[in-house]
């Protein structure tokens, strides 16, 4: 744990730490059998076009429900799966399930929606990643133009050359790329210029203060304007209130995603 707080750190052992460690090991052990035990599933969170409110597509979100520990948030199990490598197989299953579920979504919603799939930096390092994406596209019959991969800037920080190569391959296949959680972390503007991006997603932490903290909303407007100057589209995430929705329409945001206009989410088991 000292190491996770940075180099040259020291911490003394206490019993509470032992419990957290055991707890984590216990959860990690359960996660490794979660796929075969069919405890993982995906939910689709709708995204809407502005100002019309028409459906644009869905973000595919991983869910885990274990019979003993119950529902575990992806904010806990995804980082765990990233650090032990399980994300590679979990990510494959999610992609497979989402692509094979596409037909069902098309028949339900009449227009083909875009599917936004979160892809972790660890998946990019897997040499089988691109061949797997190709094989799933072929097997499921989904047209790649309906697929969008959400990456975070960690993809570029860890290995910029690999990232650029893989993103270029994905673009050649016809898959859209969106930069997730924009505005958090380093948010180096050079990524916006140098990566083959289509969409920028504004993190929900910037949407939440709209209508509550004066001036915060100006950051949102600035991101939208900047992205448009660079020919990128913008999705604002975490819309819960009308005031946020109205502000985003007024400031020409392209799409919104969140609980405000949420319909029940379609759910598929993995
Ligand atoms: P994210 O990619 O930023 O996903 C958006 C998160 O914001 C989701 O949380 C979503 O449920 C939540 N959200 C969207 N709209 C609203 C809203 O109006 N209000 C509130 N309160 N929350 C909203 P979730 O599902 O807990 O996912 C958390 C994170 O876990 C994701 O953040 C993503 O980083 C990761 N994750 C989830 N599924 C996957 C996956 O399949 N693969 C990978 N690599 N990561 C995933
Ligand atoms: Ca995302
Ligand atoms: Ca996000």
For ligand 1, whether the C-beta of 258 sits within 6 Å is yes
For ligand 1, whether the C-beta of 97 sits within 6 Å is no
State which of 58, 61, 65 you would mutate to test the pocket of ligand 1, scoring each by most atoms of that ligand within 8 A of its C-beta.
Answer: 61
Judge contact between 227 and 193, C-beta under 8 A.
Answer: no
Query: Ligand 3: distance of its center to the CA of 237 in Å?
Result: 7
Q: Is the pLDDT of residue 117 over 70?
A: yes
Smallest CA-to-CA distance from 210 within 173, 169, 170, 240 is with 240
SS3 letters for 29-73? HHHHCCCCCCCEEEEEEEEEECCCCCEEEEEEEEEEEECCCEEEC
Judge contact between 170 and 133, C-beta under 8 A.
Answer: yes
For ligand 1, whether the C-beta of 262 sits within 6 Å is no
For ligand 1, whether the C-beta of 239 sits within 6 Å is yes
Confidence of residue 233 (pLDDT cuts 50, 70, 90): very high
Lookup result for tokens 């644009």: 56
Backbone angles phi, psi at 205, to 5 degrees: -65, -20
Higher pLDDT, 130 or 11: 130
- pLDDT at position 186 is 78
Ligand that comes closest to the CA of residue 47: 1
For ligand 1, whether the C-beta of 62 sits within 6 Å is yes
Report the relative pairing of strands 255-257 and 40-49 from DSSP bridges: antiparallel
Smallest CA-to-CA distance from 17 within 29, 27, 32, 2 is with 2
pLDDT in tens, 9-39: 777 777 666 667 778 888 899 999 998 899 9
For ligand 1, whether the C-beta of 76 sits within 6 Å is no
Burial zone of 16 (CB within 10 Å; 0-12 exposed, 13-18 middle, 19+ buried)? exposed
Query: Ligand 2: distance of its center to the CA of 181 in Å?
Result: 7
pLDDT in tens, 140-193: 999 999 999 999 988 878 778 888 999 999 999 999 999 999 988 877 788 888
Confidence of residue 262 (pLDDT cuts 50, 70, 90): low
Summarize the confidence of residues 71-84 as an average pLDDT.
94
For ligand 1, whether the C-beta of 75 sits within 6 Å is yes
Take atom 5 of ligand 1 and give the residue whose Cα is closest.
237
For ligand 1, whether the C-beta of 181 sits within 6 Å is yes
Query: What global pTM score does this model have?
Result: 0.91
Cβ atoms within 10 Å of 212's Cβ, excluding its own: 11
Ligand that comes closest to the CA of residue 184: 3
Q: Which residues surround ligand 2, an ion (CB under 5 A)?
A: 118, 150, 180
Query: Ligand 3: distance of its center to the CA of 203 in Å?
Result: 5
For ligand 1, whether the C-beta of 61 sits within 6 Å is yes
Dist. CA 227–CA 201, nearest whole Å: 10
Judge contact between 142 and 97, C-beta under 8 A.
Answer: no
Query: Ligand 3: distance of its center to the CA of 43 in Å?
Result: 15
């Amino acid at each position: 744990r000292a190491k996770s707080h940075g180099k040259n750190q020291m911490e003394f052992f206490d019993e509470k730490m032992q419990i957290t460690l055991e707890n984590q090991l216990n959860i990690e052990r359960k996660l490794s059998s979660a796929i075969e035990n069919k405890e993982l599933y995906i939910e689709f969170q709708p995204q809407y076009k502005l100002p019309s409110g028409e459906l644009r597509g869905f973000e595919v979100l991983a869910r885990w429900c274990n019979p003993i520990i119950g529902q575990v948030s992806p904010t806990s199990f995804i980082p765990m799966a990233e650090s032990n490598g399980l994300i590679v197989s979990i990510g494959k299953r999610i992609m497979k399930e989402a692509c094979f579920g596409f037909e069902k979504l098309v028949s339900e919603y009449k227009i083909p929606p875009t599917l936004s799939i979160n892809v972790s930096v660890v998946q990019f390092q897997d040499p089988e990643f691109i061949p797997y994406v190709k094989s799933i596209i072929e097997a499921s019959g989904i047209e790649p133009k309906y697929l969008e991969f959400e990456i975070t800037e960690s993809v570029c920080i860890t290995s910029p050359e690999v990232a650029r190569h893989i993103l270029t391959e994905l673009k050649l296949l016809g898959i859209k790329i969106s930069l997730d959680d924009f505005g958090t972390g380093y948010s180096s503007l050079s990524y916006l210029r140098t990566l083959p991006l289509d969409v920028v997603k504004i993190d929900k932490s910037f949407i939440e203060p709209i209508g509550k903290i004066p001036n915060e909303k100006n950051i949102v407007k600035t991101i939208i304007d900047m992205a448009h100057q660079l020919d990128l589209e913008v999705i604002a995430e975490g819309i819960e209130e009308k005031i946020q929705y109205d502000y985003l329409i007024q400031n020409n945001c392209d799409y919104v995603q969140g609980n405000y206009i949420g319909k029940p989410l379609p759910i598929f088991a993995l």
